[in-house]
Structure 1
């Protein structure tokens, strides 16, 4: 079982690698990978008060796998961005691999995603919600070795996360 201490942090060379597809023969491993992703995401939520999704390479699992948990868990295997909208918007992006740093980036407002679920069923997901669209793009980038630091709008697009007040 992996925990917060297993999370790869900014600078780890594995975060810059392109992940391999999950093979159908590896499906029995997916449940264990997802359990680890869920555990670490819950630990991030408890420690830093954020976290809606995590990509497998953030735990050193170099496979094309994303785990989202917003209103319910969603396992996304071998995602493919089919289309993205021309319309974009800016946001201060955060990342579990550097939880105290925010990066100003530009993301597409809508997208279409094809993927397999944990039962190897194929889905096409039309994402029109801006918050979900930017999250999927962030996690998808992880699968290609791209961090939001690499998408910063300019060299002044970095700031520290404000400390939560209790």
Structure 2
């Protein structure tokens, strides 16, 4: 288990666009495992993206209570509906806000074995997919907030 340092608001890497992973190998799998360990070692961590641990690769891990999801090069290919959600972020501690996200998304990605996967997220899972994939493009939830919550 290797815990990685979570980058905080103000770190330039959080605003950079991540590069696609070209080869899924043991090194990428180790990074995903480290990211999962780091996420599980935090309070209230439901997801973590590569830039949040200083890695500008399109890597995401998440667990919204149904087990770990590890994604390589994820992209949203379909969105449906709208939901108002409350979000926070491990890179922006103690700050929460309301924003609008799709109610349902379909995501295409590679799994940790390099196999194509298609996942559907509804509700909180859709919110998490959107939040983490935004990180890969340098977008933070605070860019989208309509109202901050104490």
Q: TM-score, normalised to structure 1's length?
A: 0.84
Q: Which residue of 2 aligns with 1:17?
A: 16
Deviation at 1:159, TM superposition (A): 2.9
2 CA distance for matches of 1:67 and 1:134? 14
For residue 111 of structure 1, give the secondary structure of its aligned residue in structure 2. Answer: strand
For residue 114 of structure 1, give the secondary structure of its aligned residue in structure 2. Answer: strand
Quick one: which of 57, 75, 93 aligns to 1:80? 75
Do residues 159 (structure 1) and 145 (structure 2) align?
no
1:10-159 correspondence to structure 2 within 5 Å: 10-24=9-23, 26-45=24-43, 50-69=44-63, 70-85=65-80, 87-127=81-121, 129-153=122-146, 157-159=147-149
Deviation at 1:77, TM superposition (A): 0.5
Q: More helix by proportion, 1 or 2?
A: 1
Unaligned runs of 5+ in 2: none
Greater Rg, structure 1 or structure 2?
1
Segments of 4+ moved more than 6 angstroms: none
**Total equivalences in the alignment:** 148
Q: TM-score, normalised to structure 2's length?
A: 0.92
Aligned-pair RMSD on alpha carbons?
1.3
1 CA distance for matches of 2:116 and 2:33? 21
Unaligned runs of 5+ in 1: 161-166
2 CA distance for matches of 1:35 and 1:122? 19
